[in-house]
Amino acid sequence: MVQRAKIATLVDVEAFERIPIDERLPYTNTYEMIEQGVKLAPEADALCFIPAAERYQYPVRISYGELFAQITRSANLFHDLGITPGKVVSYLLPNAPQAHFVLWGAQAAGIANPVNPMLEPSVIADICRQADTQVLVAWGEDPDSDIWQKVMAIRGQLPRLKALIRVNGPSDQKEDIYGFEDILGRYNPDALDSKRVFDPDDTASLFHTGGTTGTPKLAPSKHYNVATMAFMIACSIEVDAGETILSGLPLFHVNATTFNGSWPFSIGARVVILGPQGFRDRAMIAKFPQIVEHYRAVTFSSVPTVLSALLDTDMEGADISSLRYALCGAAPLSVELFRRFEQKTGMKIIEGYGLTEGNCVTSLNPSFGERKIGSIGMRIPYHYIQTLIVDEKGDFVRDAEVDEIGALCIKGPNVFPGYLDESHNQGTRPLPGWFNTGDLARRDGDGYFWLTGRKKDLIIRGGHNIDPSVIEDALHALPGVKAAAAVGRPDPHSGELPIAYVELEAGAGITADKILDSAKKSIGERAAVPKEVIILDHIPLTAVGKIYKPALRWAAIKRVYEDELQPLAGVVRSLTVEVGEDKVHGCLATIKITTSPGADLEVIQSRVAEALGRYTTMYRVEFI
């Protein structure tokens, strides 16, 4: 069993680290990592798959022994198709047990490359070409999915592809397609036919990152990176063998493959998969309280949009007392949502921070210590975080002081070795071993970190990254558009929604509606289509002529906050919103209010909090 660190303060983290990680670590590759969980109780449930919300009481059950057998069979299948260490199996699958067979089987044979099946075919093809995909596994024909249609559209664009495997569908010799379920049973479930001896530095996975559209970057991770990440989470979070974790995040993302895969499997916990669509299935969200009660779930990993949806779910009559906490990351969480959710459910929210390049988790608010709402917590054991002052090239200048904003940088055994394309690594390593996340943050005196902004211009919509250049490139291609800039507009449900500012050439004669209609046709990913196009006489520029995006983000926040505070117009004499940069908090909105004599300032302050508490941009109220 993994020895857990009972963390309340940074002193506890440092004390736990007195024993080096390699003296504690029981495995150094993902195959042995899962085998560790199997040894605890081979007959226990590893997976329970709920096909549909109304049948939540009748899952497909898979024991640890069965899981490991199917992973081994999958590895032997891939080996038979020519996959050896260093060669890639890509997959496009919904949340289903087969996704775990393929993910971990591919890592046991070669390299796993999970791909977001919601991407457009051209982007999927580009990822597969970058990865040098030789075996492609995809979900078959399904009225609720267009995965197979996308795969057939790009099959001819992958010259190195040796084999196509259809999950949930038959073999087709004429089309040279293998049916996963047809052939898997032919393979040895007891041992790897390759007799592979794992090197901890072998590449285990290739996840794409950098946005839901455009040309994603591929981030390879070593077996050692993935294994140590699972171990570090097991040391940090209070979950034991046999306890239940709910799985609703997509299994093409490192958050889900870690929190709903490598970590629970390494400790012998039970993972309940909430259907093919997970948390995107409204019916599953509606049944969430009953599912918790039935399986006595103790935790689940989420993003703010999931918590927001659950907040609107009727939980009367269901016993959800087994839930100890909800883990939340990927996007900032508003103070109001945090408080309302905890009040309604009685569980703790553990806010954290992570990224694909760090194999999921970098920091967490401590379960046994103070949870500072709005912070991303403190570093987990064996993982190091620092805020650094870097120059324009990304080179180290000095350490940031306490409460000074700097580049958030990470170092540890879980941090990936660098992007597959070497050009993407420029400016990411300020010091040997340290990776610059691209986020800006400050560290307080207790060792907690607070995100204050992003040097990257990514728009984070519901936990998904959107590359603004994809929006901007589409708009720049329109006749009459002189300049375009995409930024995130605050949204109480999704965190941010993409909007675009446009400057037109003289006499262009094009309207915002026409620009938006064109964007809907030319931008492949629906999540990236801007919700609004705003035409400006002049887009703000820096002294050297670059678009000054902070001013555009501030303008978007100002408009949203002014709209939310409009009901106060009849209560106060005047109200203005000013948004700008604060040296401690990053972006800050200042609400300046002029009141009549005798006004109840506490009531006004409360109404401001009610209006703005759902948003993540910090604000302060100044009464004049």
* DSSP H or E segment with residue 267: helix 263-267
Percentage of the chain exceeding pLDDT 70? 95
Q: Which of 422, 309, 448 is nearest to 365 (CA)?
A: 448
- Confidence band of 306 (pLDDT split at 50, 70, 90): confident
Same topology between domain 463-539 and domain 552-623 = yes
One-letter identity of residue 131: A
Q: Domain spans of the chain?
A: 10-441, 463-539, 552-623
pLDDT (tens digit per residue) in 208-248: 985 444 467 899 999 999 999 999 999 999 899 999 999 99
What the block records as the tokens of 336 is: 């109001």
The span from the CA of 601 to the CA of 608, in Å, is 11
The span from the CA of 104 to the CA of 84, in Å, is 14
Instruction: Tell me how far CA of residue 553 lies from CA of 489, 499, 579, 618, in angstroms.
Output: 7, 10, 9, 14
- Confidence band of 303 (pLDDT split at 50, 70, 90): confident
Which of these ranges, 329-333, 569-573, 589-593, has the smallest mean pLDDT?
329-333
Position with higher pLDDT, 69 vs 538:
69
Q: Does domain 552-623 have CATH number 3.30.300?
A: yes
The top-level CATH class assigned to 10-441 is alpha beta
The span from the CA of 595 to the CA of 602, in Å, is 12
Q: Kindly state the DSSP code that residue 146 receives in the 8-state scheme.
A: -
The span from the CA of 281 to the CA of 403, in Å, is 41
Contacts of 430 (CB under 8 A, 6+ apart): 388, 390, 394, 395, 396, 407, 409, 436
Mean pLDDT of 534-541: 87
Q: Does domain 463-539 have CATH number 3.30.300.30?
A: yes
* DSSP H or E segment with residue 607: helix 601-612
Q: Could you tell me how many helices (H) and strands (E) the chain has, helices first?
A: 19, 29
Position with higher pLDDT, 96 vs 488:
96
> In the prediction, which pLDDT does 463 show?
63
